[in-house]
Amino acid sequence: MSHDSTTTPAGSLRMLSAADVEQLADWREAIDALRDAYGRHLTDDMVPMRSMARDTGIWLRGMTAISTSGKHVGAKMITVNRQNVKASYTVLLIDREVATLKALVDGSHITGLRTAATSAVFVDQAAPQRPVRVAVVGSGFEAYNHFLAVSKIREVASATVFSPRETSRQAFADRAAAETGLVVVPAASAEEAVRGADVVLCAARSRDESPTLSGAWVGPGTTVVSIGSTLPEQREVGTDLLAKAARIVADMVEEVSEDTGDFLAAKADGIDFEGRLFSLADIVSGRQAARTGEDEIVVYKSVGSALQDIVVAEQLLASAERLGIGTVVGSPIQPIDK
């Protein structure tokens, strides 16, 4: 791999592999970049809804955004072949001023980084300003990343984890102890894990798409993050949780309310979200408070946003240029006069 330092030359393209991204990734830098991005001027037109192309066994999701930094526009493309069990994630950055392709970034690691870092931005604003009791529902890649991200910006007073398989939750606890020094207690049930928590990180769905988190287990003042259900056929949190939440915050309000199974089920049960559903940008910018009372239950519901991918890719590109990481080539795609 060739490495080039300083700013990527005009007319050139910097490519960052999965290994490059993992080398460059920094939780605090990603969280800070996302907090800054959501605090700036942001409109719905800058981050439109995703598009999906589907055929038997394969789908392609396209997500586009104009960065609030004023530097880039960009896109993330996700290709999934269910027959061969293969997937690829690609993020591209285009210079906003001169329309040149500036960077091509492997997006597989960015996806986990940006989702958890964005959730941590919300948790930092919504959770009590003291050491927090954290419960994790799920033990996979996203669940662990969320625990890591929250631990980077908040002191963790205690932590529990539930996953259906005992070996999985124990592996989560062992990894957390080794990597963070924090004690995570495996719980025998999701209810046991969640009871008494200040922050609930839910990143797990059941095989039959029945909810894995019930509102009955969530006490007053809890901050809940739900990131596992992003499509109409998927479920993660019970409609009773959405009914009792004082505020629900979404990274993509229209997609969350119109295109996720949790909200579709809640609407079918007659639950009204009028006056309770806000955008993450509203909260981070200060236009709305994350909560108006200590006993309120607040829920952050995420489907993922191209803005998150583009902002993290921008931060990684800046680090790559500073450290001389990545491969720089002459861009095969050049702008034309219009």
Domains located in the chain, CATH noted: 12-111+306-330 (3.30.1780.10), 116-301 (3.40.50.720)
In 106-260, where does DSSP find H-type helix? 108-126, 141-153, 166-180, 190-194, 239-244, 253-259
Q: Please give the span between the terminal C-alpha atoms of the chain, in angstroms, as a whole number.
A: 36
Contacts with 220 (C-beta within 8 Å, 6 or more apart), sequence order = 295, 296, 297
- pTM (two decimals): 0.93
Task: Tell me the per-residue pLDDT of 225-271, one tens digit each, with 9 for 90 and over.
Answer: 999 888 899 999 999 999 999 999 999 999 999 999 999 999 999 99
Beta-ladder partners of 61: 52, 78
pLDDT of residue 333: 84
- In the chain, beta strands by DSSP E: 12-16, 51-55, 58-66, 72-81, 86-95, 101-106, 132-137, 156-162, 184-186, 199-202, 223-226, 247-250, 277-279, 298-301, 327-330
pLDDT at 150: 98
Q: In which residue ranges of the chain is pLDDT below 50?
A: 1-2
DSSP state of 219: P
The predicted structure's pLDDT at residue 1 = 40
CA gyration radius for the chain? 20
Residue among 334, 238, 253, 233 nearest 300 (CA) = 253
Q: What is the pLDDT of residue 6?
A: 60
Query: CB-based contacts of 287: which residues, under 8 Å, 6+ apart?
Result: 281
Predicted pLDDT of residue 2: 45
The secondary structure of residue 237, as a DSSP letter, is: B
